[in-house]
Amino acid sequence: MKDVARSAGVSVSTVSNVLNRPDYVSSANRLKVLDAIARLGYVRNNAARQLRVGRTRTVGLVVLNIANPFFIDVIRGVEETLSRVGHSVILCNSDGRPPREESNVEMLGEQQVQGVLISPVDPGSPWLAKLADRGVPVVLLDSRAAGTEQCSVSVDDVLGGRLAASHLLEQGHERLVYVSGPPLLHQVTERREGVLAAMAEAGVPADRLTVIECTELSFGAGCDAGERLLGLRPRPTAVICANDLLALGVLQVMFANGVSVPGDVALVGYDDIDFAAGSAVPLTSVRQPRYELGEVAAKLLLDEVDGAGEHAHRQIVMTPELVVRASSSSAHATWSRSRSSSKRR
Protein backbone atom coordinates (compact mmCIF):
# COMPACT_ATOMS: atom_id res chain seq x y z
CA MET A 1 0.00 0.00 0.00
CA LYS A 2 2.89 2.27 0.74
CA ASP A 3 4.29 1.45 -2.67
CA VAL A 4 1.00 2.24 -4.31
CA ALA A 5 0.81 5.53 -2.43
CA ARG A 6 4.29 6.53 -3.48
CA SER A 7 3.78 5.45 -7.03
CA ALA A 8 0.58 7.46 -7.21
CA GLY A 9 2.09 10.42 -5.40
CA VAL A 10 -0.44 10.37 -2.56
CA SER A 11 -0.57 9.20 1.02
CA VAL A 12 -1.52 5.74 2.19
CA SER A 13 -4.73 6.97 3.68
CA THR A 14 -5.83 8.19 0.28
CA VAL A 15 -5.14 4.74 -1.09
CA SER A 16 -7.16 3.26 1.73
CA ASN A 17 -9.96 5.67 1.01
CA VAL A 18 -9.99 4.75 -2.66
CA LEU A 19 -10.46 1.17 -1.63
CA ASN A 20 -13.06 1.70 1.07
CA ARG A 21 -14.83 4.99 0.46
CA PRO A 22 -14.08 6.04 -3.10
CA ASP A 23 -16.39 9.05 -2.86
CA TYR A 24 -14.13 10.71 -0.27
CA VAL A 25 -11.43 11.02 -2.89
CA SER A 26 -11.11 13.45 -5.76
CA SER A 27 -11.54 11.69 -9.04
CA ALA A 28 -8.11 12.78 -10.19
CA ASN A 29 -6.47 11.07 -7.26
CA ARG A 30 -8.77 8.12 -7.49
CA LEU A 31 -7.67 7.49 -11.03
CA LYS A 32 -4.01 7.83 -10.16
CA VAL A 33 -4.38 5.36 -7.34
CA LEU A 34 -6.38 2.87 -9.35
CA ASP A 35 -3.78 3.06 -12.04
CA ALA A 36 -0.95 2.46 -9.61
CA ILE A 37 -2.81 -0.51 -8.13
CA ALA A 38 -3.20 -2.05 -11.55
CA ARG A 39 0.38 -1.31 -12.52
CA LEU A 40 1.83 -2.80 -9.36
CA GLY A 41 -0.60 -5.67 -9.13
CA TYR A 42 -1.42 -4.69 -5.59
CA VAL A 43 -3.76 -6.95 -3.64
CA ARG A 44 -5.08 -5.89 -0.27
CA ASN A 45 -3.88 -7.96 2.65
CA ASN A 46 -7.00 -9.23 4.26
CA ALA A 47 -5.31 -10.30 7.48
CA ALA A 48 -4.21 -6.76 8.19
CA ARG A 49 -7.56 -5.38 7.25
CA GLN A 50 -9.35 -7.80 9.52
CA LEU A 51 -6.98 -7.12 12.34
CA ARG A 52 -7.69 -3.45 12.12
CA VAL A 53 -11.42 -3.61 11.53
CA GLY A 54 -12.00 -6.32 14.08
CA ARG A 55 -14.49 -8.34 12.12
CA THR A 56 -14.79 -10.18 8.84
CA ARG A 57 -17.34 -10.38 6.09
CA THR A 58 -17.07 -14.13 6.33
CA VAL A 59 -19.31 -16.77 7.80
CA GLY A 60 -18.63 -20.44 8.30
CA LEU A 61 -20.84 -23.23 7.06
CA VAL A 62 -20.30 -26.74 8.38
CA VAL A 63 -22.27 -29.52 6.75
CA LEU A 64 -22.68 -33.09 7.82
CA ASN A 65 -21.90 -34.72 4.53
CA ILE A 66 -20.95 -32.98 1.39
CA ALA A 67 -21.44 -36.14 -0.65
CA ASN A 68 -25.16 -35.97 0.02
CA PRO A 69 -27.03 -34.03 -2.66
CA PHE A 70 -29.36 -32.80 0.05
CA PHE A 71 -26.62 -30.63 1.45
CA ILE A 72 -25.54 -29.38 -1.93
CA ASP A 73 -28.84 -27.54 -2.22
CA VAL A 74 -28.62 -26.32 1.35
CA ILE A 75 -25.18 -24.94 0.53
CA ARG A 76 -26.55 -23.19 -2.51
CA GLY A 77 -29.26 -21.56 -0.45
CA VAL A 78 -26.74 -20.30 2.05
CA GLU A 79 -24.19 -19.11 -0.48
CA GLU A 80 -26.59 -17.28 -2.71
CA THR A 81 -28.24 -15.53 0.20
CA LEU A 82 -24.99 -14.45 1.78
CA SER A 83 -23.08 -13.52 -1.35
CA ARG A 84 -25.96 -11.26 -2.28
CA VAL A 85 -25.11 -9.09 0.70
CA GLY A 86 -21.38 -9.31 0.20
CA HIS A 87 -20.47 -12.01 2.66
CA SER A 88 -18.30 -14.92 1.72
CA VAL A 89 -18.68 -18.43 3.00
CA ILE A 90 -16.06 -20.82 4.27
CA LEU A 91 -17.45 -24.25 3.58
CA CYS A 92 -16.47 -27.16 5.80
CA ASN A 93 -17.42 -30.79 5.79
CA SER A 94 -17.56 -32.53 9.13
CA ASP A 95 -18.31 -35.82 7.40
CA GLY A 96 -20.42 -36.77 10.40
CA ARG A 97 -17.31 -37.14 12.52
CA PRO A 98 -17.29 -35.17 15.77
CA PRO A 99 -13.52 -34.64 15.87
CA ARG A 100 -13.58 -33.21 12.38
CA GLU A 101 -16.47 -31.02 13.35
CA GLU A 102 -14.53 -29.78 16.32
CA SER A 103 -11.50 -28.84 14.28
CA ASN A 104 -13.72 -27.20 11.67
CA VAL A 105 -15.38 -25.09 14.33
CA GLU A 106 -12.09 -24.22 15.94
CA MET A 107 -10.65 -23.12 12.62
CA LEU A 108 -13.67 -20.95 11.95
CA GLY A 109 -13.33 -19.40 15.37
CA GLU A 110 -9.74 -18.45 14.70
CA GLN A 111 -10.73 -16.99 11.34
CA GLN A 112 -12.94 -14.55 13.23
CA VAL A 113 -15.98 -15.45 11.19
CA GLN A 114 -19.05 -13.31 11.74
CA GLY A 115 -21.10 -16.35 12.52
CA VAL A 116 -21.46 -20.06 11.94
CA LEU A 117 -24.15 -22.10 10.25
CA ILE A 118 -23.89 -25.74 11.15
CA SER A 119 -25.72 -28.98 10.74
CA PRO A 120 -24.24 -30.52 13.84
CA VAL A 121 -23.58 -34.14 14.57
CA ASP A 122 -24.70 -33.35 18.09
CA PRO A 123 -26.25 -29.93 18.71
CA GLY A 124 -25.06 -30.05 22.29
CA SER A 125 -21.35 -30.43 21.69
CA PRO A 126 -19.06 -28.35 23.91
CA TRP A 127 -17.31 -26.66 21.00
CA LEU A 128 -20.56 -25.15 19.83
CA ALA A 129 -21.35 -23.91 23.29
CA LYS A 130 -17.88 -22.41 23.55
CA LEU A 131 -18.35 -20.60 20.27
CA ALA A 132 -21.66 -19.17 21.39
CA ASP A 133 -20.11 -18.11 24.71
CA ARG A 134 -17.53 -16.10 22.82
CA GLY A 135 -20.41 -14.22 21.29
CA VAL A 136 -20.17 -15.78 17.85
CA PRO A 137 -23.69 -16.22 16.47
CA VAL A 138 -24.43 -19.84 15.74
CA VAL A 139 -27.43 -20.98 13.75
CA LEU A 140 -28.31 -24.65 13.74
CA LEU A 141 -29.17 -26.03 10.35
CA ASP A 142 -31.36 -29.08 9.98
CA SER A 143 -31.33 -29.42 13.72
CA ARG A 144 -33.60 -27.97 16.35
CA ALA A 145 -32.19 -25.76 19.10
CA ALA A 146 -32.82 -27.29 22.50
CA GLY A 147 -33.75 -24.07 24.22
CA THR A 148 -34.79 -20.67 23.07
CA GLU A 149 -31.34 -19.12 23.31
CA GLN A 150 -30.31 -19.96 19.80
CA CYS A 151 -31.56 -19.79 16.25
CA SER A 152 -32.30 -22.93 14.35
CA VAL A 153 -33.95 -24.01 11.13
CA SER A 154 -35.05 -27.56 10.83
CA VAL A 155 -37.62 -29.73 9.14
CA ASP A 156 -40.12 -31.74 11.11
CA ASP A 157 -38.57 -35.17 10.83
CA VAL A 158 -41.15 -36.87 12.99
CA LEU A 159 -43.85 -35.66 10.65
CA GLY A 160 -41.80 -36.78 7.66
CA GLY A 161 -41.48 -40.26 9.05
CA ARG A 162 -45.18 -40.31 9.80
CA LEU A 163 -46.10 -39.24 6.28
CA ALA A 164 -44.00 -42.00 4.82
CA ALA A 165 -45.39 -44.67 7.11
CA SER A 166 -49.03 -43.59 6.88
CA HIS A 167 -48.81 -43.74 3.14
CA LEU A 168 -47.56 -47.32 3.22
CA LEU A 169 -50.05 -48.38 5.85
CA GLU A 170 -52.85 -46.95 3.76
CA GLN A 171 -51.68 -49.14 0.92
CA GLY A 172 -52.46 -52.06 3.16
CA HIS A 173 -48.95 -52.98 4.26
CA GLU A 174 -48.83 -54.45 7.73
CA ARG A 175 -45.16 -54.90 8.29
CA LEU A 176 -42.65 -52.14 7.76
CA VAL A 177 -38.92 -52.02 7.59
CA TYR A 178 -37.00 -48.89 8.48
CA VAL A 179 -33.55 -48.69 6.98
CA SER A 180 -31.87 -46.41 9.45
CA GLY A 181 -28.62 -44.51 9.51
CA PRO A 182 -26.23 -43.75 12.36
CA PRO A 183 -28.39 -43.45 15.51
CA LEU A 184 -26.19 -40.52 16.49
CA LEU A 185 -28.09 -38.43 13.97
CA HIS A 186 -31.30 -37.16 15.45
CA GLN A 187 -32.79 -36.77 11.97
CA VAL A 188 -32.57 -40.50 11.58
CA THR A 189 -34.06 -41.36 14.93
CA GLU A 190 -36.85 -38.81 14.67
CA ARG A 191 -37.92 -40.19 11.35
CA ARG A 192 -38.16 -43.57 12.99
CA GLU A 193 -40.25 -42.12 15.77
CA GLY A 194 -42.56 -40.72 13.14
CA VAL A 195 -42.91 -44.14 11.61
CA LEU A 196 -43.79 -45.60 14.98
CA ALA A 197 -46.28 -42.82 15.60
CA ALA A 198 -48.05 -43.56 12.35
CA MET A 199 -48.18 -47.22 13.21
CA ALA A 200 -49.65 -46.46 16.59
CA GLU A 201 -52.28 -44.26 15.00
CA ALA A 202 -53.19 -47.04 12.64
CA GLY A 203 -53.40 -49.53 15.44
CA VAL A 204 -50.45 -51.52 14.19
CA PRO A 205 -48.32 -52.93 17.00
CA ALA A 206 -44.79 -51.58 17.20
CA ASP A 207 -43.22 -54.99 16.80
CA ARG A 208 -44.33 -55.03 13.21
CA LEU A 209 -41.45 -52.66 12.50
CA THR A 210 -38.04 -54.08 11.67
CA VAL A 211 -35.10 -51.73 11.81
CA ILE A 212 -31.99 -52.23 9.73
CA GLU A 213 -29.20 -49.98 10.80
CA CYS A 214 -26.59 -48.59 8.44
CA THR A 215 -23.35 -46.95 9.47
CA GLU A 216 -23.68 -44.14 6.98
CA LEU A 217 -26.24 -42.52 4.74
CA SER A 218 -24.75 -43.54 1.42
CA PHE A 219 -25.58 -45.43 -1.70
CA GLY A 220 -23.14 -48.18 -0.79
CA ALA A 221 -24.67 -48.61 2.64
CA GLY A 222 -28.06 -48.85 0.98
CA CYS A 223 -26.81 -51.70 -1.16
CA ASP A 224 -25.68 -53.55 1.93
CA ALA A 225 -29.04 -52.92 3.54
CA GLY A 226 -30.70 -54.29 0.42
CA GLU A 227 -28.79 -57.51 0.78
CA ARG A 228 -29.89 -57.82 4.37
CA LEU A 229 -33.46 -57.10 3.38
CA LEU A 230 -33.38 -60.04 0.99
CA GLY A 231 -32.53 -62.32 3.85
CA LEU A 232 -35.48 -61.32 6.03
CA ARG A 233 -38.31 -63.82 6.64
CA PRO A 234 -41.09 -63.14 6.25
CA ARG A 235 -40.05 -61.06 3.28
CA PRO A 236 -41.01 -57.47 4.02
CA THR A 237 -43.40 -55.76 1.66
CA ALA A 238 -42.73 -52.16 2.58
CA VAL A 239 -39.49 -50.34 3.26
CA ILE A 240 -38.81 -46.79 4.43
CA CYS A 241 -35.29 -45.50 4.16
CA ALA A 242 -33.72 -42.78 6.26
CA ASN A 243 -32.66 -41.04 3.08
CA ASP A 244 -32.73 -41.35 -0.69
CA LEU A 245 -29.17 -42.54 -1.09
CA LEU A 246 -30.00 -45.55 1.04
CA ALA A 247 -33.23 -46.07 -0.87
CA LEU A 248 -31.46 -45.99 -4.21
CA GLY A 249 -29.00 -48.58 -2.97
CA VAL A 250 -31.84 -50.78 -1.78
CA LEU A 251 -33.64 -50.31 -5.06
CA GLN A 252 -30.59 -51.32 -7.01
CA VAL A 253 -30.25 -54.57 -5.09
CA MET A 254 -33.95 -55.38 -5.42
CA PHE A 255 -33.67 -54.78 -9.12
CA ALA A 256 -30.63 -56.94 -9.53
CA ASN A 257 -32.31 -59.78 -7.67
CA GLY A 258 -35.52 -59.69 -9.60
CA VAL A 259 -37.57 -58.33 -6.74
CA SER A 260 -40.21 -56.09 -8.23
CA VAL A 261 -40.66 -52.58 -6.88
CA PRO A 262 -43.39 -51.76 -6.02
CA GLY A 263 -44.87 -55.16 -6.91
CA ASP A 264 -43.08 -57.21 -4.29
CA VAL A 265 -41.72 -54.42 -2.15
CA ALA A 266 -42.92 -50.86 -1.78
CA LEU A 267 -40.11 -48.39 -1.20
CA VAL A 268 -40.04 -44.88 0.21
CA GLY A 269 -36.99 -42.63 0.49
CA TYR A 270 -36.34 -39.33 2.18
CA ASP A 271 -35.08 -35.94 0.86
CA ASP A 272 -36.41 -36.16 -2.69
CA ILE A 273 -33.04 -35.54 -4.31
CA ASP A 274 -33.01 -35.20 -8.09
CA PHE A 275 -31.99 -38.80 -8.60
CA ALA A 276 -35.04 -39.95 -6.69
CA ALA A 277 -37.42 -38.98 -9.44
CA GLY A 278 -35.02 -40.27 -12.05
CA SER A 279 -34.17 -43.71 -10.84
CA ALA A 280 -35.24 -46.86 -12.63
CA VAL A 281 -38.43 -46.86 -10.65
CA PRO A 282 -39.21 -43.27 -9.69
CA LEU A 283 -38.87 -43.11 -5.97
CA THR A 284 -41.55 -42.03 -3.55
CA SER A 285 -39.85 -39.70 -1.15
CA VAL A 286 -40.36 -37.14 1.57
CA ARG A 287 -39.41 -33.79 0.17
CA GLN A 288 -37.60 -31.28 2.30
CA PRO A 289 -37.27 -27.61 1.41
CA ARG A 290 -33.52 -27.90 1.00
CA TYR A 291 -32.70 -24.62 -0.65
CA GLU A 292 -35.03 -22.72 1.65
CA LEU A 293 -33.45 -24.38 4.65
CA GLY A 294 -30.11 -22.81 3.75
CA GLU A 295 -31.69 -19.55 2.72
CA VAL A 296 -33.68 -19.08 5.90
CA ALA A 297 -30.76 -20.08 8.09
CA ALA A 298 -28.56 -17.54 6.34
CA LYS A 299 -31.14 -14.81 6.81
CA LEU A 300 -31.48 -15.63 10.48
CA LEU A 301 -27.75 -15.36 10.86
CA LEU A 302 -27.66 -12.04 9.04
CA ASP A 303 -30.35 -10.73 11.32
CA GLU A 304 -28.40 -11.80 14.35
CA VAL A 305 -25.18 -10.29 13.03
CA ASP A 306 -26.59 -6.97 11.88
CA GLY A 307 -29.50 -6.48 14.22
CA ALA A 308 -27.23 -5.60 17.12
CA GLY A 309 -29.18 -6.44 20.25
CA GLU A 310 -32.47 -6.18 18.45
CA HIS A 311 -32.31 -9.80 17.43
CA ALA A 312 -34.77 -12.31 18.80
CA HIS A 313 -33.73 -15.92 18.49
CA ARG A 314 -36.10 -18.04 16.49
CA GLN A 315 -36.50 -21.76 16.10
CA ILE A 316 -38.06 -22.36 12.73
CA VAL A 317 -39.47 -25.74 11.87
CA MET A 318 -40.36 -26.34 8.26
CA THR A 319 -42.79 -28.87 6.93
CA PRO A 320 -41.85 -31.82 4.76
CA GLU A 321 -44.10 -33.16 2.07
CA LEU A 322 -44.67 -36.65 0.72
CA VAL A 323 -44.13 -37.05 -3.01
CA VAL A 324 -45.72 -40.25 -4.19
CA ARG A 325 -44.20 -41.94 -7.21
CA ALA A 326 -44.08 -45.41 -8.66
CA SER A 327 -41.89 -47.09 -6.06
CA SER A 328 -44.58 -47.24 -3.43
CA SER A 329 -47.85 -47.43 -5.19
CA SER A 330 -49.27 -49.66 -7.84
CA ALA A 331 -51.45 -46.75 -8.90
CA HIS A 332 -48.34 -44.97 -10.10
CA ALA A 333 -46.65 -48.01 -11.53
CA THR A 334 -47.34 -46.86 -15.03
CA TRP A 335 -44.64 -44.30 -15.25
CA SER A 336 -45.96 -40.84 -15.45
CA ARG A 337 -42.45 -39.40 -15.45
CA SER A 338 -43.45 -36.81 -12.94
CA ARG A 339 -40.06 -35.28 -12.61
CA SER A 340 -41.51 -31.86 -12.79
CA SER A 341 -41.91 -31.60 -9.08
CA SER A 342 -38.23 -31.86 -8.41
CA LYS A 343 -37.33 -28.61 -10.09
CA ARG A 344 -34.91 -26.55 -8.15
CA ARG A 345 -32.81 -23.96 -9.99
How far is C-alpha 64 from the geometric centre of its chain's CA atoms? 7
Least distance CB 254 / DNA (angstroms): 56
Which partner in DNA, a second copy, none is near 248 (CB below 5 to 8 A by kind)? a second copy
To the nearest 10 degrees (0 to 180), the angle between helices 27-40 and 12-20 is 90
Q: Considering CB under 7 A, how many residues would be counted as binding DNA?
A: 27
Which partner in DNA, a second copy, none is near 203 (CB below 5 to 8 A by kind)? none
DSSP code at position 342: G
* Stretch 7-66 residues interacting with DNA (CB under 7 A): 9-14, 16-17, 19-20, 23-26, 28-29, 42, 44-45, 48-49, 51-54
Q: In 10 A of CB 225, how many CB atoms?
A: 25
- Cα angle vertex 227, ends 226, 228, to 5°? 90
b/e string for 265-291 if b means 16 or more Cβ within 10 A? bbbbbbbbbebbbebebbbbbbbbbbb
Which partner in a second copy, DNA, none is near 256 (CB below 5 to 8 A by kind)? a second copy
The contact set with a second copy (CB under 8 A) reads: 41, 43-48, 50-51, 56, 66-67, 69, 72, 75, 79, 88, 90-93, 106-107, 109-112, 130, 133-134, 219-220, 223, 248-249, 252, 255-256, 274-275, 278-281, 335, 337, 339
b/e string for 305-321 if b means 16 or more Cβ within 10 A? beeeeebebbbbebebb
Query: Which of residues 44 and 76 has its CB atom nearest to DNA in the complex?
Result: 44
Which partner in DNA, a second copy, none is near 26 (CB below 5 to 8 A by kind)? DNA
Query: Which of residues 111 and 171 has its CB atom nearest to a second copy in the complex?
Result: 111
Query: Which of residues 51 and 146 has its CB atom nearest to DNA in the complex?
Result: 51
For residue 197, CA distances in Å to 157, 161, 278, 344 come to: 12, 9, 30, 31
Asked if 115 contacts 60 with a C-beta cutoff of 8 angstroms, the reply is yes
Q: What three-state secondary structure class fits 155? A: strand
Query: Which of residues 194 and 262 has its CB atom nearest to a second copy in the complex?
Result: 262
Query: Which of residues 103 and 329 has its CB atom nearest to DNA in the complex?
Result: 103
Which partner in DNA, a second copy, none is near 274 (CB below 5 to 8 A by kind)? a second copy
Which partner in a second copy, DNA, none is near 28 (CB below 5 to 8 A by kind)? DNA
Alpha carbons 242 and 286: distance in angstroms, whole number: 10
Which partner in DNA, a second copy, none is near 20 (CB below 5 to 8 A by kind)? DNA
88 binds DNA (CB under 7 A): no
Least distance CB 177 / DNA (angstroms): 53
CA-based nearest residue to 204, from 238, 160, 169: 169
Residue 125's identity, in one-letter code, is: S
Sign of the CA dihedral 213, 215, 216, 218?
negative
Query: Which of residues 32 and 191 has its CB atom nearest to DNA in the complex?
Result: 32
Asked if 59 contacts 89 with a C-beta cutoff of 8 angstroms, the reply is yes
Asked if 10 contacts 29 with a C-beta cutoff of 8 angstroms, the reply is yes
Give residues in contact with DNA (CB under 7 A). 1-2, 9-14, 16-17, 19-20, 23-26, 28-29, 42, 44-45, 48-49, 51-54
